């Protein structure tokens, strides 16, 4: 049996551009990709904190240090420049993999620079119970 778990999340990123004429995807500053472990072409879910829209797309790397978060293609109609978004990727894990799995959450500032990184364990023995 496989369990779907959060792999990585970029929290509170600000959309810096949209391009409805591009053939699809979300452009993410490569520094943020490295910080989260997200990969080029990886599927992600994007949740717009301003309007509640959610959509699935795939990652393309942006210029390192640019702070770019660009929503392309049809999804560009679901957000706008200045909106805050949450970008999430998930993995399927076996019970053995769950024991050592940690989700990486990168919290960014208004310039899309990482200000905090948190690794959340996926097993109850390591996780803080609230």
By annotation, the residues acting in catalysis are 25, 58
CA gap 119, 30 in Å, rounded: 19
Phi first, then psi, for residue 32 (nearest 5°) are -70, -35
For the chain, percent helix, then strand, then coil, each to nearest 5?
A: 15, 50, 35
């Amino acid at each position: 049996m496989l369990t779907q778990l959060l792999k990585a999340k970029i929290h509170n990123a600000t959309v810096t551009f949209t391009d409805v004429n591009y053939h699809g995807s979300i452009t993410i500053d490569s520094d943020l990709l490295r910080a989260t472990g997200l990969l080029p072409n990886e599927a992600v879910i994007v949740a717009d904190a301003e309007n509640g829209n959610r959509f699935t797309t795939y990652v393309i790397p942006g210029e390192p240090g640019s702070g770019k978060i660009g929503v392309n293609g049809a999804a560009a109609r679901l957000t706008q420049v200045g909106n805050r978004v949450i970008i999430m990727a998930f993995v399927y894990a076996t019970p053995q993999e769950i024991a050592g799995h940690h989700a990486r959450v990168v919290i960014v500032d208004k310039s899309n620079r990482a200000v905090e990184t948190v690794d959340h364990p996926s097993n109850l023995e390591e996780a803080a119970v609230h």
